[in-house]
Amino acid sequence: MATAISLSHLGSVMRGVRSVDQVGVEERAAGLAKRSIKKASKLWALDLAIRCIDLTTLEGADTPGKVTALCAKGVRPQPGDPSIPSVGAICVYPSLVATAVAHLRGSGVKVASVATAFPSGQSFTSIKVAETREALAAGADELDMVIDRGAFLSGDYQKVYDEIGSVKEACGSAHLKVILETGELGTYDNVRRASILAMAAGADFIKTSTGKITPAATLPVSLVMMECIRDFSRETGKQIGFKPAGGIRTSKQAIAYLVVLYETLGPDWMTPERFRLGASSLLNDILMQIEKERSGAYQSADYFSVD
Amino acid sequence: MAIAKRPSTEMGQRLFEYAAAPEATDHLKIADSYALFVGGRFVEPHSRRRFATVNPATEETLSEVAEADETDVDRAVTAAADAFRSWSRLSGAKRARYIFRLSRLMQERARELAVLETMDGGKPIKESRDVDVPLAAAHFFYYAGWADKLEWAFPNRRPRPLGVAAQVIPWNFPLLMLAWKIAPALAAGNTVVLKPAETTPLSALAFADICQQADLPPGVVNIVTGAGSTGAAVVGHPGVGKVAFTGSTEVGKQIQRATAGSGKHLTLELGGKAANIVFEDAPLDQAIEGIVNGIYFNQGHVCCAGSRLLVQESIVEPLLAKLKSRLGTLRVGDPLDKNTDVGAINSRAQLEKIEGLVNSGIEEGAEIYQPECRLPERGYWFRPTIFTNVAQSYRIAREEIFGPVLSVLTFRTPDEAVEKANNTPYGLSAGVWTDKGSRILWLVERMRAGVVWANTFNRFDPTSPFGGYKESGFGREGGLHGLAAYVELS
């Protein structure tokens, strides 16, 4: 693919990426989080949030049984209520892709697999590429890779760039989400650099976090990444997707992300094609809030299945 | 309630329409008419005259307010002078107790004050709720702390209060300007006659109610409502020892002439035409927010507004592209809606002034940009506006517009930025956006402005002094400097 930056000067280009003012970006994010989303617009946002969820389980203890249950939940989050849509995707480890594929066939729900020595990324490029190929061969539609933070923090941008490129090549037409693991990058300047690097190297989505370390996704980090997507789109015409992941548990948080998305990237991004929420426990809170908006009263948590 | 149906297709409703989220007003009681607050009581005006105060977002009359004449003002000054004898002798700790109480009551009644401020003045509720009212309470809290520490505030000097302080405040931040004026005056042992602006008297009258609730001794705070002639009577009264005015440079000059030779202490906080300077290495997305906050905050009704944007030529294009698209996301409309970013213009007269200056900009050859937005049918509104191709000599680059209108100029070198920024009769504030710390310090040394914000704009704190150079006035408010304006040192 055509890249936005010259490979021969990658290092100096990355160091020349425009800076981010920490106080300013946090203030802006806090301001947007205060938007008051009510009634019909709240229901609309919650419906979109469900369709954008990458319903995720990434535990050492995951079993086919657990993944089967999660798939059922993702396809029909609230049995008996057809107005509740399916989630965007089910996100699992590579070894469980086949199980998910079997249970999601024909449902429209995508299967996403993490890969590339998730979550640390500390392995050999050849193994990362091989893992990617295996996950896709097992039927994954989307692939969530991690960047090599060690290489990034030591300034070896070329290695990070090349690795993303190799994985992208292995992906073919499958959607590639590139996890920056912003909680390990330390500064918003680095988040900005990593975002631009990942997009230039071929990411279809950029994603905040693995969910394995804190802080995971935050609103200001997401704002910085969305601003990069906006700049990238302006310069190249390519509309890269965004996925915050980790620590998003409540409807209120989900709506705050949608507000920042709307006011930063605009209506074109208000679709599962360009926005996903990586979450495991968010879905039930959304279901409860929808029920509350409709009936005017909160229902017992026992009415919502725990999967 | 109706259940919103899910959009049938992906391309269905993609616009995120925020449903109306109006702040409740049912907790607020606005009387049909208000009297003057003199000697701790609400008294009918000698003038027997009243004038209407209007909600600029609906053009509906909110209340009728007394118009004080010279006799009314004389009564208020007499009440303040009587109260001064005991208030100035009260121990600092006891004065502090009253001022702390005022602060706490403002916090307790924050919601009421915020709604009142928004209805009477047209500013978005998110600003009155998150900025005006909390900052006003913080000012009282801060100066309450100084009341019993005056001898530490001015070491080896003997600070004495000045007597009755005549204070005239503007309509852009009614409650906050009241706090800037009253809090340090009371802490230092002065008593006060305050005249709020004629378009925004209601929060000051609510504050009068708070004074009663706090059992503040009668006459320590007196509030006389009225227009220019009332203000002239207040500052011209011979019983006044100190005059503090915030408002236009034109009126400030009249006041300075009127008080010359009278022995009255005077501080003036007047107009501004602040430069907001963006260098090519600035954090651009945050600079955009700073520019927006600098000029569209409170509809640009801000004396320190960043109304002249000075952009380094190498980044004009991306900056303007970003700024224009950001303007499209500003939500203009009902000030009581919690999602509103830009509210109503304060009065018809102000709207006409803004329109006049904007027309002059078009005639002089500047290029105007305004985003698409639907304005309410009633009320006073003005679209957020950007002027490009502005020459330093145009009226829109020289005169204070006091509205949501930004003039964009360019520069090539830091020296040119400083020269252009200082090339104004005003000198209240300035902003600088750069990633380079040394450049910030270099520039601050050369700016003829009372406050210079670096990588931020319109940020206020009770501990930080605020005031102008040149025709933006003299004297400082806030911090220790603000206290010094209310004492005589011997």
* Domains annotated on chain B, with CATH: 33-270+470-489 (3.40.605.10), 275-454 (3.40.309.10)
Respond yes or no on whether the N-terminal peptide bond of residue A215 is cis (omega within 30° of 0).
Answer: yes
Average pLDDT value over all residues in chain B:
96
Interval B156-189: pLDDT, tens: 999 999 999 999 999 999 999 999 999 999 999 9
Distance between CA atoms of residues A278 and A280, nearest Å: 7
> Which residues of A are identified as catalytic?
144, 207, 243
Calculate mean pLDDT across residues B128-139: 98
pLDDT of residue A5: 54
User: Is pLDDT at A11 greater than 90 in this prediction?
Assistant: no
Q: Which residue of A has its CA nearest to B10?
A: A271
> Where residue A300 falls among pLDDT bands split at 50, 70, 90?
very high
> Where residue A307 falls among pLDDT bands split at 50, 70, 90?
confident
Range with the poorest average pLDDT among A251-260, B11-20, B254-263, B294-303: B11-20
Kindly state whether B149 is in contact with chain A, defined as any CB-CB distance less than 8 angstroms. no
Asked if A109 and A71 touch (Cβ cutoff 8 Å), the reply is: yes
Q: What three-state secondary structure class fits B461?
A: coil
Structure tokens at B59: 């053009």
Helices (H) and strands (E) counted in chain B, each on its own, are: 17, 20
User: Is pLDDT at B236 greater than 80 in this prediction?
Assistant: yes
User: Is pLDDT at B1 greater than 50 in this prediction?
Assistant: no
In degrees, rounded to 5, the angle at the alpha carbon of residue B254 between the alpha carbons of residues B249 and B259 is 120
pLDDT of residue A101: 98
Calculate mean pLDDT across residues A160-182: 97
pLDDT of residue B11: 43
pLDDT of residue B14: 66
Calculate mean pLDDT across residues B76-102: 98
The answer to whether the Cα torsion of B206, B209, B214, B217 is positive or negative is positive
pTM of the complete model: 0.95
User: Is pLDDT at B314 greater than 70 in this prediction?
Assistant: yes
| Active-site residue flag, B211 | no
Calculate mean pLDDT across residues B49-73: 98
B residues 158..197 contacting A (CB < 8 A): none
pLDDT of residue B7: 44
**Residue position matching structure tokens 């609510």:** B206
CA distances from A275 to A55, A234, A283, B329 (A): 13, 18, 16, 20
A residues 207..246 contacting B (CB < 8 A): 227, 234
Calculate mean pLDDT across residues A71-94: 96
Tell if the CB–CB gap between A35 and B18 is shorter than 8 Å.
yes
Percent of chain B with pLDDT over 70: 97
CA distances from B358 to A252, B402, B420 (A): 41, 11, 21
Interval A255-264: pLDDT, tens: 999 999 999 9
pLDDT of residue B261: 96
Calculate mean pLDDT across residues A22-27: 97
Calculate mean pLDDT across residues A210-218: 96
pLDDT of residue A6: 54
Distance between CA atoms of residues A208 and A229, nearest Å: 13
Cα B468 to chain centroid, rounded:
14
Decide if domain A20-295 falls under CATH 3.40.50.2000.
Answer: no
Distance between CA atoms of residues A50 and B366, nearest Å: 48
Calculate mean pLDDT across residues A200-212: 97
Distance between CA atoms of residues B467 and B51, nearest Å: 32
Mutation site, B11, B18, B288, B456, interface A, largest A CB count within 10 A: B18
For A153, counting Cβ atoms within 10 Å of its Cβ (0-12 exposed, 13-18 middle, 19+ buried), the class is: middle
Distance between CA atoms of residues B456 and B458, nearest Å: 7
Distance between CA atoms of residues B179 and B482, nearest Å: 12
Of A229, A19, A205, nearest to B285 (Cα)? A19
Tell if the CB–CB gap between B283 and A18 is shorter than 8 Å.
yes
Q: How far is A60 from chain B (nearest CA, A)?
A: 36
* Beta carbons within 10 angstroms of residue B248's beta carbon: 15
Q: How far is B165 from chain A (nearest CA, A)?
A: 38
Q: Which sequence spans correspond to the domains of chain A?
A: 20-295
Asked if B287 and B319 touch (Cβ cutoff 8 Å), the reply is: yes
Residues of chain A with C-beta less than 8 angstroms from the C-beta of B455? 21, 23-24
> Where residue A16 falls among pLDDT bands split at 50, 70, 90?
confident
Kindly state whether A286 is in contact with chain B, defined as any CB-CB distance less than 8 angstroms. no
Output Rg (C-alpha) for chain B, integer angstroms.
23
Rounded to a whole number of angstroms, the distance between the first and last alpha carbons of chain A is 41
Q: What three-state secondary structure class fits B24?
A: coil
pLDDT of residue B4: 42
Torsion angles phi and psi, residue B77, rounded to 5:
-65, -40
Of A34, A257, A53, nearest to B16 (Cα)? A257
Taking CB atoms and an 8 Å cut-off, how many pairs form between chains A and B? 92
Q: How far is A211 from chain B (nearest CA, A)?
A: 27
Interval A112-130: pLDDT, tens: 999 999 999 999 999 999 9
pLDDT of residue B469: 97
Whole-complex ipTM: 0.93
pLDDT of residue A7: 56
CA distances from B279 to A23, A77, B155, B421, B473 (A): 18, 51, 42, 13, 28
> Where residue B8 falls among pLDDT bands split at 50, 70, 90?
very low
